[in-house]
Structure 1
Amino acid sequence: MEPIKSLDEKTDPATKQMLQNVVKKKKKFDKYKFAHNLSIVSTLVLTSWFLSYLYHLIGNYSSYSFLDIFSIFLSNDINILFLLTIIGVYFGMNVLKKQREKFEKEFHGLRCEIVDRSKDLWKREEEWKNRHVVFEMMKKEYDINLFHEHK
């Protein structure tokens, strides 16, 4: 937040507060985006490992009866525990996806509000001419594009 505080006369306190809020929303969005991506990878790795394990477990038996294969699966408690773990990770992934989408919507809403209201936020001629300095700082320091509404 130091680069925002060091903007001096280029922005008024209300605008600085809006910029700090958009940075907070971006950090929260990035946190949930990383957690969601990690949960996707975890779900895929665990599922592929479990399917491979089941293939080798069932491949050792020559029976093709569903009941025989099902009884083999249920004979070991670790199979059920691992299946429940995969299901839990999958539902956790969906919860993180919803959280990520929520924070992405809030972040982009606030970012678009700053872009839309830039004429009101930098009213004076001198401020308007220096607003690109603020926008470039936000892009460089926080990877937040305030030049355009689109991502």
Structure 2
Amino acid sequence: MNSTIQNLSEWTDHATKQMLHNVVERKQKFDKAKKNHLIVLWISVFTAFFFFYYLYKYVMGPYSYSFAAMFSVYVSKSFHVYITMVIIGLFGATKVLYQKKEKAEKEYQALRCEIIDRSKDLWKEDAWKKRHQVYELMKKNWDINLFHESK
């Protein structure tokens, strides 16, 4: 468990600390998935752009008089086929990483909303008056908003 969460005052019980730790882990998992998706997306976009520029300059430009000639030059080099497969694979990986990102976000938001909904059960009596300190800590350290359910 994170030391910051573990060192919360006695008015936050162990179950609440565990829930806060889980929401921090889910947030970190979501941030990592978001970063990976963005990196692969930009790599695939730039790779596709430079490959299409290469095709325009060295295949379409010189052989624009005939589609058959362009197609013949395109398939005559195995590099073209391989790079096309790589670009298709990159866009496929982008789609898979997008789905992972969406799943991680859904898990994170569900747990965050559960903490917000159950806050009356998690902080009772005197602890209810001090829960805003935990909320501010979560917002400051991990950018997790526990004040409102909306993103």
TM-score for both structures, normalised by structure 1: 0.96
Following TM superposition, by how much is the alpha carbon of 1:147 offset from its aligned partner in structure 2, in angstroms?
A: 0.3
Q: How many positions carry a matched residue from both structures?
A: 150
User: What residue is the counterpart of 1:148 in the other structure?
Assistant: 148
* Matched residue SS, 1:9: coil
Following TM superposition, by how much is the alpha carbon of 1:64 offset from its aligned partner in structure 2, in angstroms?
A: 2.6
Deviations 1:105-148 (A, max 9, x none): 00000000000110110012x10010000000000111100000
Which consecutive residues of structure 1, in runs of 5 or more, have no partner in the other structure? none
Following TM superposition, by how much is the alpha carbon of 1:58 offset from its aligned partner in structure 2, in angstroms?
A: 1.9
Q: Percent identity of the aligned residues? A: 48
Which consecutive residues of structure 2, in runs of 5 or more, have no partner in the other structure? none
Q: CA RMSD in A?
A: 1.0
Superposed counterparts of 1:68-147, under 5 Å = 68-124=69-125, 126-147=126-147
Deviations 1:71-123 (A, max 9, x none): 11011111111111000000000000000000100000000000011011001
Contact in 1 for aligned 2:12/2:127 (Cα 8 Å) = yes
Following TM superposition, by how much is the alpha carbon of 1:12 offset from its aligned partner in structure 2, in angstroms?
A: 0.5
* Matched residue SS, 2:10: helix
Distance 2:70 2:60 in 1: 10
